[in-house]
Amino acid sequence: MSDTSEMTHVVLVTGPSGAGRTTAINALEDVGFEAIDNLPLTLAPRLLEGPALHRPLALGLDTRNRDFAVNQMMETIETLAVNSKIRLEVLYLDCSVDVLIRRFSETRRRHHLSPDGAALSGIELDLDLMQSVRARADVLIDTTTLSPHDLGAEVTQYFAPDQEKAMAISLQSFSYKRGTPRGVDMMFDCRFLRNPYWDKDLRSKNGLTSAVQAYVGEDKNFTPFRKKVLELADLVIPAHTAEGRSHLTIGFGCTGGKHRSVTMVEVVRKDLQLRGWHVTIRHRELVAQTMSKGTNKYKDLDV
């Protein structure tokens, strides 16, 4: 008999379209699962033929898969179930017909099984095709009355009950001249701070150097600004964590994205790390500058 501690935990996430598969897979990914969605059914067993994986795996499979057939789906499940290298659990997300119709109506999506007709016919066919899979499920969650946040919390409770979801914070510096970065949750404008660009000895340097940081830090508004940013971070980061968020991106911008914004990212990173948060950084303009020069000196900053 195989040692379960050495087996790869595989959660097969399935159910009718619109029941919340994407939300469930995202929740599993947030607690450490590697997630693969819409993998062709015939490839699923082959994916696990090699050595044991180092991370648990979440596989999204349903009637939208390219080679879906009921028999093929059941054979795939049974093939995975008898694999001595894995511990398989089938998570089935159920939902009432009325709510599925409402969800498709609200998103204005066409049902893949009824692309040219009313959603109802596609939903009913989808539910009918999935009945044997539903009967085989190890965990069944009815999402009819659940919000995406509630569904994510239930999935986490089932598959990672002892794991606290740690907030990952990303700090980014950027130049307003090159536009604001996408995907930033909070943004601070640093252009009011003392600008090292106007000091000929500092113009060619950047906010990674102590000389530039000291110059910016001498601005009378620097310390109050830093304090206000941290006070806001102390308020919103725990609140976002309580809402189930797994990451937060904070941007700092200045004119060139080289001096003041970089300084703020470096200083705030240390402050947040002292508070126990996991922080990564990206200095967009420094990365772009060094890559254009054919060097990878700041490549690690993009991680």
Asked if residue 301 has pLDDT above 50, the reply is: no
Tell whether 260 and 143 lie within a shared domain: no
For residue 299, pLDDT over 50 is answered with no
Q: How confident is the model at residue 251 (pLDDT cuts 50, 70, 90)?
A: very high
Q: Is the pLDDT of residue 11 over 90?
A: yes
Query: Can you tell me the mean pLDDT for 177-194?
Result: 93
Q: Tens digit of pLDDT for each residue in 17-75?
A: 889 999 999 888 888 888 888 888 778 888 777 666 678 999 998 888 777 888 888 98
Domain that holds residue 149: 4-159
pLDDT value at residue 291: 44
Residues 270 and 150 in one domain: no
Residues 150 and 191 in one domain: no
227-242: pLDDT as tens digits: 999 999 999 999 988 8
| Mean predicted confidence (pLDDT) in 141-157 | 86
Three-state SS annotation for the chain: CCCHHHCEEEEEEECCCCCCHHHHHHHHHHCCCEEEECCCHHHHHHHCCCCCCCCCEEEECCCCCCCCCHHHHHHHHHHHHCCCCEEEEEEEEECCHHHHHHHHHHHCCCECCECCCCHHHHHHHHHHHCHHHHHHCCEEEECCCCCHHHHHHHHHHHHCCCCCCCCEEEEEEEEHHHCCCCCCCEEEECCCCCCHHHCCCCCCCCCCCHHHHHHHHCCCCHHHHHHHHHHHHHHHHHHHHHCCCCEEEEEEEECCCCCHHHHHHHHHHHHHHHCCCEEEEEEHHHHHHHHHCCCCCCHHHHC
Number of compact structural domains in the chain:
2
Same domain? For 240 and 261 the reply is yes
Same domain as 145, residue 62 = yes
pLDDT at 162 over 70: no
Q: Mark whether 172 and 132 lie in a shared domain.
A: no
Task: Please say if the pLDDT value at position 2 is more than 80.
Answer: no
CATH value at residue 110? 3.40.50.300
Check pLDDT > 60 for residue 294: no
- Residues 154, 176: one domain? no
- Domain match, 19 and 117 both: yes
Which domain-ending residue is among 140, 159, 178? 159
Average pLDDT, the chain: 85
| pLDDT tops 90 at residue 113 | no
Choose one of 159, 193, 213: the last residue of a domain: 159
